[in-house]
Structure 1
């Protein structure tokens, strides 16, 4: 099955538990449609570059999935209809990266990686 990565932004007035509950909800949607949630990360509340629906901040979440296209389409459709979700980005990838995403790595680890590449 194809591999996908998703980032979505939820409203800032949600609690952390509610924002993490959205991850579980959309993971269930994938499972019901023949896919699976490989990994998920809750990035926390971050300031956005510009206002979206009068919000300056939002709860950022990152999902890695292994699902057929129909499951992804259904999940995106439900995300766009959900009142708490402000933005959704989905990309198809060849393979999932090992370990945590760049957002979750400590600054020191990112600097070490840059030095190794040189």
Structure 2
């Protein structure tokens, strides 16, 4: 099992319910294929750096997960088929990135660690 992070930009025309159901669809697809969601974070509506399909904003969603290495191809196909997805990006996380994300979620930053030492 490898650690990954997925960032998805959904189209901004989705309602709140459609946005949440799209997130649920991909997390359930993950668990059905032997993966495990570690943490998910819905950033909400943000401006895009450049227009995509004539849209200047998008609904951002970040998912940190553990999955077998062949799972990303299956998920990539599902993301490409979904018309509500503007862009997506996978990132493989090493042990240091996983540790950093866990510390960040728990509220421990590197500044507080240095202050305690």
Q: Normalising by the residue count of structure 1, what TM-score does the alignment of the two structures yield?
A: 0.81
> Which is worse superposed, 34-43 or 13-22?
13-22
Q: What SS does the aligned partner of 2:70 have?
A: helix
Equivalent positions of 1:22-37 (< 5 A) are 22-37=22-37
Aligned positions, number: 108
CA contact (8 A) 1:3 1:66 kept: yes
Residues in 2 aligned to 1:76 and 1:65: alpha-carbon distance in whole angstroms: 14
- Note the C-alpha offset of 1:38: 1.2
Structure 1: any 5+ residue segments left out of the alignment? Answer: none
Report the Cα distance in structure 1 between the residues aligned to 2:62 and 2:17, rounded to whole angstroms. Answer: 15
| C-alpha RMSD of matched pairs (Å) | 2.3
What's the offset of the Cα at 1:34? 1.2
The structure number with the bigger radius of gyration is 2
CA distance in 2, matches of 1:70, 1:27: 16
Unaligned runs of 5+ in 2: none
2: CA distance between counterparts of 1:72 and 1:36? 13
User: Per-residue CA shift, 1:29-52, capped at 9, x if unaligned?
Assistant: 111111111111100100101100
What CA distance in whole angstroms lies between the structure 2 residues aligned with 1:62 and 1:29?
15
